[in-house]
Amino acid sequence: MRPFTYARPDTLADAVALLAAAGPDARVLAGGTDLVIRLRDGTLRPSLVVDVKRVPELAPSIRLEGDTLVFGATTTMTEIAAHPLVRRDLAGLAEAAAVVGSVQIRNRATLAGNVCNASPAADTAPSLLVHGAVVVAVGPGGVRRIALDDFFVRSGVTTLRPGELVIAVEVPAPASRIASAHERRTRRRGHDLASVTLACGVDAAGVTRVAYGSVGPRPVVRVDATGALADPASSEAARAEAFEAVFADASPSARSMRAGPEYRLAMLRVLGRRALATALDRLAAGE
Ligand SMILES: Cc1cc2nc3c(=O)[nH]c(=O)nc-3n(C[C@H](O)[C@H](O)[C@H](O)COP(=O)(O)OP(=O)(O)OC[C@H]3O[C@@H](n4cnc5c(N)ncnc54)[C@H](O)[C@@H]3O)c2cc1C
Query: What is the 228 CA–ligand 1 centroid distance (Å)?
Result: 36
Ligand 1 closest atom vs CA 156: 49
Ligand 1 closest atom vs CA 44: 49
Rounded CA gap, 17 and 33, in Å? 24
According to the model, what pLDDT value does residue 33 have? 97
Ligand 1 site: residues with CB under 6 angstroms?
Answer: 27-35, 37, 52, 58, 73, 100-101, 105, 108-110, 112-114, 116-117, 122-123, 165-166
pLDDT profile of the chain (287 residues), mean per 10: 94 97 94 96 95 98 96 98 96 97 96 97 97 98 98 97 96 92 80 82 95 95 96 94 95 71 91 97 89
Query: What is the 120 CA–ligand 1 centroid distance (Å)?
Result: 12
Residue identifier of the C-alpha nearest atom 19 of ligand 1? 114
> CB–CB of 191/219 below 8 Å?
no
Angle between helices 236-246 and 261-285 (to 10 degrees): 120
How, if at all, do strands 48-51 and 5-7 pair?
parallel
> CB–CB of 108/201 below 8 Å?
no
Query: What is the 78 CA–ligand 1 centroid distance (Å)?
Result: 14
| Number of neighbouring beta carbons within 10 Å of residue 277 | 12
Name the residue of 79, 107, 117 whose CB sits within 8 Å of the most ligand 1 atoms, as the mutation to test its pocket.
117
Query: What is the 114 CA–ligand 1 centroid distance (Å)?
Result: 4
What DSSP string runs through 244-259? HHHGGG----TT-SS-
Query: What is the 32 CA–ligand 1 centroid distance (Å)?
Result: 6
Which residue stretches of 23-110 are H helix? 35-41, 77-82, 84-89, 91-98, 103-108
| The overall pTM is greater than 0.85 | yes
According to the model, what pLDDT value does residue 2 have? 84
Q: Identify which of 130, 157, 156, 159 has the alpha carbon closest to the alpha carbon of residue 144.
A: 159
Query: What is the 109 CA–ligand 1 centroid distance (Å)?
Result: 6
Name the residue of 4, 105, 136, 159 whose CB sits within 8 Å of the most ligand 1 atoms, as the mutation to test its pocket.
105
Query: What is the 168 CA–ligand 1 centroid distance (Å)?
Result: 15
Ligand 1 closest atom vs CA 37: 53
Could you tell me which residues come within 8 angstroms of residue 55 by beta carbon, excluding any fewer than 6 positions away? 9, 10, 11, 12, 15, 167
Ligand 1 closest atom vs CA 166: 42
**To which H or E segment does residue 281 belong?**
helix 261-285
Query: What is the 44 CA–ligand 1 centroid distance (Å)?
Result: 14
